[in-house]
A and B are shown apart, each in its own frame.
Chain A
Amino acid sequence: MTEWVGIAAITVVMFLTIGVGARGVRIARTPADFMVAARAVSSPVNAAAISGEYLSAASFLGIAGLVFVQGLGSLWYSVGYAAGYLVLLLLVAAPLRRFGAYTIPDFAGGRLQSARLRQGSTVLVLIIGWFYLLPQMDGAGLTLQVVLGIPYWIGVVLLGVVVSGNIAMGGMKGITFVQAFQYWLKICAIGIPALALLAYAGHGSTANLTSSGAPTFGHPTAVTVPQAVKLVVKRPTDVVATGVVDGHADAGRHLVLEPGTHSIGRGSVLKFRAGATVPVRILLVQPSSPAWNSPFVSVGPDGAHPLAATYGLIIATFFGAIGLPHILVRFYTNRDGTSARRTTLIVLLLLSFFYIFPAILGVLGRLRAPQLYLTGNTDGIVLALPALLMPGPVGAALAALVAAGACAAFLSTSSGLLVSVAGAFSHDLLRGGVRSFRWCALGAGAVAMLAALLVENFSASLLVGWAFAIAASSFCPLLVLGIWWRGLTWRGAMAGVLIGGGGCCAAIAATMLGLARTGWAAVLLGYPAMWTVPLAFAVMILGSLASRRDRPADVDQIMLRMHLPDTLLKRTR
């Protein structure tokens, strides 16, 4: 029963998105009332479209999961995702719109008069786009796994086929109104369940938030383990087990789990007493309360240098939003620099509003559903919470709503990304037309699909954080210096993009391969923006100073066009 509601919700969202996208928003009117001016997209609509495209699976599922497992320090992710637009607003939005560029390669090529830099930045757009696509695919696999109980890879393949097929057939190109609608869908899909659950289950004891030990069960709880897990137990725990525990088949046997690691078979049911300490899946960091309550991001099992890691995250997310390929495209729809700035301001408000809810859900999960520490995939808690906290039809309906929202999240973001990636590939690298765009869409989707199968165990927020780090250490310096410093040359920019972006990619690859798990190495490789962003800025400035004769001749003209206020421009017309 519960499953069917979820299936229905997901199907409806998929068909809505694809159907509307394929048909395009049909704006046919009789001549009597057709006014082009009325057709222009207002800043609020455009802001909702940007937010709708931006709020990905990482925001919808990832943040709540990270808060649940790693603690309040993970709220820096949501702060950073929103605050990136502040930097965008202050430094980039209006001048970039006045420049008229539509993608970062266009900006790079037009501002610095270099075809090579243009191609170099196209390659980087592809890398960032693919990196950002991974967590979307990951979110799709997970959502369908939780809602339908099908294996992870089926969800990934399904999303990949649906989205790239849809784009290849010409859907999802520049559909501002659909994306704006997606924002409101997402905010309802996370806001309503969060508030309902808060009202229903958010009162009473706050033991798990305040005590100094690990979280405990508030009341007697039976936990069904959906797949075989290894649990870490810190103190002796009484359970009544049905199923396989440590290799022994039990049927309702009372036993004591001694401190250490225990393996639990698939489908086993463990009944815990009220007040029992919650065992934790071996992959998760032990969420003891002091660490959970600390306002810093924790890295690795030892949680070393939390302040440095937090700064790494802040730098990556604050400066990364500037360089996201699928977001910049939307700014072109603004009429002029002023409206671009207004749009960004509204985006900030819309995003801030959204990010309240994942935090609520994460805290609620720790408070009322600690059994998810045993069973849950971190990113799955938003999907699992409604049914756990509110058994019955209301909970099922809320769960379906959340599933629909998650589906909207990964569909819209991955569509926007794939359009950008395929466009960059076919237009900037292959100089191709519609046909090559199609093949590029299919190819890019396939690559992302294959890569996503390898990253099942990474948190969506972590992956997105890395995409931000790459953007922050390559495109952020390029745009900021390109807009505000007339001394930038293409050689300097190229060197900065290569060294900053390359260094960041290498650090992330090292982390993904698990080469550094502890100490400074883990912090510097896991949150590379801390050193790659200043490095990229420094290389770009020094490189440009060293190649001063490459400065484009028309730099003064371009600067004037980017920084002349719109009102002045209109007056001279």
Chain B
Amino acid sequence: MAGLWILLAAVAVALSGAVAFWTRSSRLMGTPRQHVTYETLHTASVAVSALRGGLTAAAAASAAPALRRLLGTPAVALADRKSLLACEGSERHRDALAKCLQEVVDSGRTKPLAANDLRCGHSDECPVHAGVAVPITVEGSVVGALAALGPSASADLVRAVGEVARFVSTHLALAELDAARTRTVQAQLNFLRAQISPHFVYNALTAIESFVRSDPDRARDLLVGFAEFTRSTFREHSQYVTLAEELHLVETYLELERARFGDRLEVILRVAPETLSVKVPSLVLQPLVENAIRHGLERRSGSSLLRIVAADGGHEAVVTVEDDGAGADPLHLHDIMSGRRISDSVGLRNVDERLRATFGGDHGLIIETGIGAGTKVTMHLPKYSAVLSTA
């Protein structure tokens, strides 16, 4: 019997814990004034976070209600350079607003909206009599317009709308910056793909040619590998691949390099099977291997050892590419990686940037090197990443 009581008590404790958890989420603190400030800041951040990806119809539709709350007016409207994107709270003025905002976008000047601008025929029951439309400018050019409507166009409203438009501009500028950065990384990746070709194609074909007579079977295999390799590097649509696919690409690549260098290139590959299904951005490993071979082998005579290890590190896979070649000056390399110095080897930096963009700022490349001491490049690849799971 005592057991049953304890059981009931346990259930009660668990229930109350759940309820406490439930209600904890929205608790208010501070004075009413602070409360108003927090509320305003929160509304503002909700409004602009939608616009962080740029001024699109979907973003405008989700930002408009928050902007309306922020301004405290019955209606707001957002337009880009071409058309009205969102009209919140005054559906009947949609067409008139579209025309007014277009004028503002074209002229680039603030425009007070009078009742006849809005073509408001039903003046009595309509809460909207006047308003103001403000252009949104990013880096000197008008990208859109914001309008707020109310019973009257007071000086306060004009000022508030102007401030909000400036606030929105700042975030649209940030969105523009993001997009530019993505484009740069993508352009670099395309460059990387294009850059592989001439240099590598020549060497590979020469090497294959040398086997055509002496070992036709090998020459054929190498040609198949060459075709496969070029196809995988040109393939653009699969942005993310598994580490197994990436290693396979490296394998084909190494086969071609080995045809050229013969016994001079010694490769040790250690792969823990647990790491094979890790998802990575495509072409993250091959540039590292190519870099190692270029700096480890091409610039000197004698044989060279390349070590590629993919080890299981619990929640992440640790991939290292190590050569015993010439190495580099760490300071020089640091300049290249941080973009202060332009180098012909765009590979390392591009891989680093894409890893950071995919997995977060603390997942860049770790490079250990010194002049004459070889180079070791390490990547920490999370086995599970929220970004990749939704990709």
Contact = CB atoms under 8 A, between A and B. Distances in A.
Interface of A: 24-29, 31, 34-37, 39-41, 99-103, 106, 109-110, 173-174, 176-177, 332-335, 419, 423, 427, 434, 437, 491, 494-495, 498-499, 502-503, 506-507, 510-511, 515-516, 520-522, 524-525, 539, 554, 557-558, 561, 573
A368 B268 CA distance: 57
B28 interface: no
B277 A335 contact: yes
A332 B277 contact: yes
Interface string B7-18: 101110111011
Contacts of B315: 102-103, 423, 427
A31 B267 contact: yes
A41 B2 contact: no
Given A507-B10, A525-B7, A554-B390, A39 B314 contact: no
Choose among B3, B276, B313, B386 the residue with the greatest number of A CB atoms under 10 Å from its CB: B3
A438 to B, nearest CB: 11
Given A503-B10, A507-B7, A516-B2, A36 B244 contact: yes
6 contacts: A334-B277, A335-B276, A427-B314, A506-B13, A507-B10, A516-B3
B3 A525 contact: yes
B273 A176 contact: yes
Contacts of B18: 494-495, 498-499, 539
Nearest to B235: A573
B223 interface: no
Given A28-B268, A419-B314, A502 B14 contact: yes
Nearest 6 A/B pairs, CB to CB: A516-B3, A506-B10, A521-B3, A174-B312, A502-B14, A174-B274
A506 B384 contact: no
Nearest to A45: B273
B185 interface: no
Contacts of B248: 36-37
B187 interface: no
A204 to B, nearest CB: 44
B270 A502 contact: no
Q: Is the interface of B mostly helix, strand, loop or mixed?
A: helix
Contacts of A332: 274, 277, 383
B271 interface: yes
A522 B3 contact: yes
A345 to B, nearest CB: 19
Contact of A502 (B3, B17, B247): B17
Contacts of A27: 269-271
A498 B277 contact: no
A419 to B, nearest CB: 7
A27 to B, nearest CB: 6
A117 to B, nearest CB: 11
A537 B319 CA distance: 41
Nearest to A437: B314
A36 B251 contact: yes
Q: Is the interface of A mostly helix, strand, loop or mixed?
A: helix
Contacts of A36: 244, 247-248, 251, 271, 276
A434 B266 CA distance: 31
Given A101-B384, A494-B21, A516-B2, A502 B312 contact: no
Interface in B332-350: none
A36 B10 CA distance: 53
Contact of A31 (B258, B274, B384): B258
Given A40-B276, A174-B272, A515-B3, A101 B314 contact: no
Contacts of A99: 389
B238 interface: yes
A510 B6 contact: yes
Contacts of A516: 2-4, 6
Nearest to A34: B269
A384 to B, nearest CB: 34
A88 to B, nearest CB: 18
Nearest to A535: B11
Given A99-B389, A174-B272, A423 B267 contact: no
Contacts of B10: 502-503, 506-507, 510
A498 B21 contact: yes
B14 A24 contact: no
Contacts of A334: 277
Contacts of A520: 4
A423 B384 CA distance: 13
A427 B316 CA distance: 10
Given A39-B276, A40-B244, A506-B10, A103 B270 contact: no
Contacts of A437: 314
A125 B361 CA distance: 28
B271 to A, nearest CB: 5
A520 B5 CA distance: 12
Contacts of A34: 251, 267, 269
Given A31-B254, A35-B251, A423-B314, A41 B269 contact: no
Contacts of A174: 272, 274, 312, 314
Nearest to A496: B18
A375 to B, nearest CB: 32
B2 to A, nearest CB: 5
A388 to B, nearest CB: 38
B13 A502 contact: yes
B1 interface: yes
Contacts of A423: 314-315
B388 interface: yes
A511 B18 CA distance: 24
Contacts of B244: 36-37, 40, 335
B389 A100 contact: yes
Interface in B284-316: 311-315
Interface string B150-178: 00000000000000000000000000000
A521 B7 CA distance: 9
Nearest to A101: B384
Contacts of A434: 313
B22 interface: yes
Contacts of B2: 515-516, 521
A236 B288 CA distance: 83
Contacts of B277: 332-335
A102 B390 contact: no
Contacts of A173: 312-314
A190 B271 CA distance: 33
Contacts of A499: 11, 14-15, 18
B14 A506 contact: yes
A558 B273 CA distance: 26
B279 interface: yes
A495 to B, nearest CB: 5
A418 to B, nearest CB: 12
B160 to A, nearest CB: 30
Given A506-B6, A525-B7, A573 B273 contact: no
Given A499-B11, A502-B13, 6 more contacts: A31-B258, A36-B244, A173-B312, A507-B7, A516-B3, A558-B389
Contacts of B238: 573
Nearest to A506: B10
Given A26-B270, A39-B276, A510 B390 contact: no
Contacts of A495: 18, 21-22
A24 B309 CA distance: 12
